[in-house]
Structure 1
Amino acid sequence: MSRRDQIKMTDSEIRDYLAEQRVINVATMGPNGRPHLAPLWYVPHGGGDTDGGALRLETWTYGRSQKVANLRRLAQATVLVESGEAYEELSGVSMETDVEIIDDTERTLAIGTDLMRRYTFDGAEIPDEAVDALRAQATKRVGLVLTPTKIVTWDHSKLGGAY
């Protein structure tokens, strides 16, 4: 077995890893042909046998942002989620994705609500006044649905300290 095969994550490990991490780095292609890289909060969906199938990540951002301008030209991104300090702790998921831009305010609000529930309310219900604040933000934002077309993973802890 190759070292590469030893450090690959299974589908359930990918799902669990994405659920515990907090930031994705999203690379889009800028107008000058260079990558534009931006960190974003996200909500993972799917990726399991019982939760609706295909893995996807959802996030939102300002509709006038550079990343959205880039995505309107080419609706593809590369996404990186990584963690670890020492070599034996390094883990990550890199995904080439197709990106759907959500211009509908209500769908964008739903994504913003999911983000707030995950990052601010630890999965609990969101008070009505917080939803009202999100609704005001949603008018300036778009949702992004990132669906992987290729996934590469690594988890060096699987090597058990042997390199």
Structure 2
Amino acid sequence: ERTCRVATTAPDGRPHVAPLWFVWDGESLWLNSIVRSKRWADLRRDARVAIVIDAGEQFHELRGVEISGNAEVVGEVPRSSEPDDRVANAELLFARKYMGGDHFMADGRHAWLRIKADEIVSWDFRKNAALQQWSR
């Protein structure tokens, strides 16, 4: 999938959810976030985060994953175009996924967040025979 939904906690305790592009490197989820955003401010104050990535149109097709953990800032804030081995792999994955090539273009407004999952929960309604019967 191309878009995830990132949930953070505002200073008053209310949740804040926003869509964002992401990459998974096999161990961590990486988010390239605008540093002047509510999400960034929330995560700098409280690093706890929950992220949902899902797919499916009809109810019986729904599937996805929820990842919860802590967001860690990696690299410069904001990210410049100087080479940085700490984020090089995430940038390559991001460029291939969203930019159609191997070159990541930093815009000076975003920075990298790495989420190492404390918990991963998945679901797949396609595996539920009762839902498949109901959908026909």
Q: TM-score range by the shorter chain?
A: 0.7 to 0.9
Shift of 1:72: 0.8
Distance 2:116 2:17 in 1: 18
Residue 102 (structure 2) aligns with: 125
Letter in 1 for 2:19: P
Contact 1:108 1:141 in 2 (8 A): no
Distance 1:148 1:40 in 2: 17
Go from structure 1 to structure 2 and tell me whether the alpha carbon gap of 1:92 and 1:40 turns closer, same or farther (over 3 Å shift).
Answer: same
Go from structure 1 to structure 2 and tell me whether the alpha carbon gap of 1:71 and 1:32 turns closer, same or farther (over 3 Å shift).
Answer: same
Shift of 1:28: 0.5
User: Does the alignment pair 1:148 with 2:111?
Assistant: no
Instruction: Detail structure 1 runs of 4+ shifted over 4 Å in the superposition.
Output: 107-110
Structure number having the greater helix percentage: 1
Shift of 1:151: 1.4
Q: Classify the secondary structure of the residue corresponding to 1:152.
A: strand
User: Does the alignment pair 1:114 with 2:86?
Assistant: no
CA RMSD of aligned residues (A): 2.0
Aligned residues: 125
Distance 2:109 2:59 in 1: 41
TM-score for the superposition, normalised by structure 2? 0.80
The one of 81, 86, 89 equivalent to 2:58 is 86
Distance 1:64 1:150 in 2: 28
Residue 36 (structure 1) aligns with: 16
Structure number having the greater strand percentage: 2
Q: State the identity %.
A: 31
Q: Higher mean Cα deviation, 150-159 or 99-108?
A: 99-108
> Any stretches of 5+ residues in structure 1 without a counterpart?
1-20, 47-54
Shift of 1:109: 6.8
